[in-house]
Amino acid sequence: MTAKQLMLVARQTYKTRIKSVGFWSLVLAPMLILLVIAGISFIITATQSHKTPVVGVVNEPALATYLKKDDAFDIKVKNVTDEKQAKRELTKGKLDAYLATANQKYELVNSADGQSVSETKMKASLNTYTMLAKASAMKLSPTELQTLMTPPTLTTKVQSDKGETRGGAAADTANYALASALGILIFVFLTSYVSMIAQEIANEKSSRIMEILLSATSPAVQFFGKLTGIALLAITHAALYVVAGLVVNVFAPHYKYLKMVKSLLAGVDMGFAIMSLLLALVAIFMYMVLTAILAAMVNDQSQVQQAVAPMTYVAMIGYVLTFTLSGQPHNTFLNVLSFVPFISQTLMPARLGLQYATMGDAAIALVLELIVLIFLSRFGLRVYKRNVLTYSDGNITKAALSSLKGLFVKTKD
């Protein structure tokens, strides 16, 4: 197997794929989805009859003045002399709500069909207002008032049996959120690239170009060359997203979703991120190798889906199981599955994110993946060689079974 030919095959695969509509629609799909979501939320916001609510304050001119000055609270304030008048104006729709006071108790009366007034904000404003009123009654200095108003600080740490992590609940949520997001990403990546490599091989096999290619090279060159090409394509794909993220970061640093992602990522610790990515990457290679083997058994294009479907199902199992994970730190079944290659790529990061597993556990899962990858590549090459020029007229299940046998029978490679 010559390295030069390997690179040629990889380059050819990469070049034809990167020019294809399929690749770019795959790249753009998430962006399109984001655009659609952004568009819909924009339309909803634009068409909302969003007016500033008008709140009547019954017979409390000082409070009314304070509320008017409160910038954080987006309301229009109107002085009303008594509750009767307030009620009348509320029914007429001139007020959206009114605030009445009786024995140090406040009552906010909302109109059913008016603009809503935030209860939380109202509480906060009233809180500060009464505090200020009491402070001035006690004749406190501004510094004393400042001290009084400073809230206590609380930092959280989690002491679990897996060791202490900083960041506490925030990091937990971030890690878990990342693991779930990664789950979706891995699933989409996996299924797309799996079908891409299947098409690539099936196309050459069914058009009989494979014979020409193999006359100049070897099955090993074809097998690993194609995998390298598609792997490079996947890396390009990921790089495009990073670049897109950076571009948004530079030109629109206040973009809502970017902020969301940033604040989410801020909570993630590096070790976890790297481990998750490694697990995912090795898993993608594993799936690709397995697909290449299956695709070599295909006789024509129409069987591609048949060959790829099992891959998708297995990938889906790993993905769906992550949802059952929460609150089940000691479920033996899930714990064992999280080490199983082909499933571990989503399950292990999720367990890691929830602190149900240690980095050591994840490392074991990674090593298991690597072992399977090496095994698959070595023995897959044999199966590939056996099948890639065999055009059986039976179905591919039969071909698969006879190849399984071939896995354990030594042939010349």
Residue numbers at the binding site for other proteins (CB under 8 A): 1-2, 4-5, 8-9, 12, 16, 207-209, 211-218, 389, 411-412
Which residue, 320 or 389, is less far from other proteins as judged by CB? 389
Please enumerate, as own/partner, the contacts of 242-251 that have beta carbons within 8 Å and a separation of 24 or more. Answer: 244/31
Radius of gyration of the chain (CA): 31
Which residue, 313 or 408, is less far from other proteins as judged by CB? 408
How remote is the C-alpha of 338 from its chain's centroid? 19
Residues with Cβ within 8 Å of 187's Cβ and at least 6 positions away in sequence, in order, are 315, 316, 319, 346
Check if the beta carbon of residue 296 is closer than 8 Å to that of residue 387. yes
Residues with Cβ within 8 Å of 36's Cβ and at least 6 positions away in sequence, in order, are none
How remote is the C-alpha of 209 from its chain's centroid? 40
DSSP string, 260-325: HHHHHHHTS-HHHHHHHHHHHHHHHHHHHHHHHHHHHT--SGGGHHHHHHHHHHHHHHHHHHGGG-
Please state the closest distance from residue 24 (CB atom) to other proteins, in A.
15
Which residue, 263 or 392, is less far from other proteins as judged by CB? 392
Helix/strand number for the chain, H first, E second: 16, 6
138 phi and psi angles, rounded to 5 deg = -85, -5
Which residue, 59 or 217, is less far from other proteins as judged by CB? 217
Q: Which two tokens stand for residue 57?
A: 């304050």
Please state the closest distance from residue 218 (CB atom) to other proteins, in A.
6
Residue 407 identity (one-letter amino acid) = L
Dihedral sign for Cα 170, 173, 179, 184, please.
negative
Rounded (10°) angle between helices 219-251 and 168-206 = 140
Please state the closest distance from residue 211 (CB atom) to other proteins, in A.
4
Residues with Cβ within 8 Å of 44's Cβ and at least 6 positions away in sequence, in order, are none
Q: Which two tokens stand for residue 115?
A: 């603009």
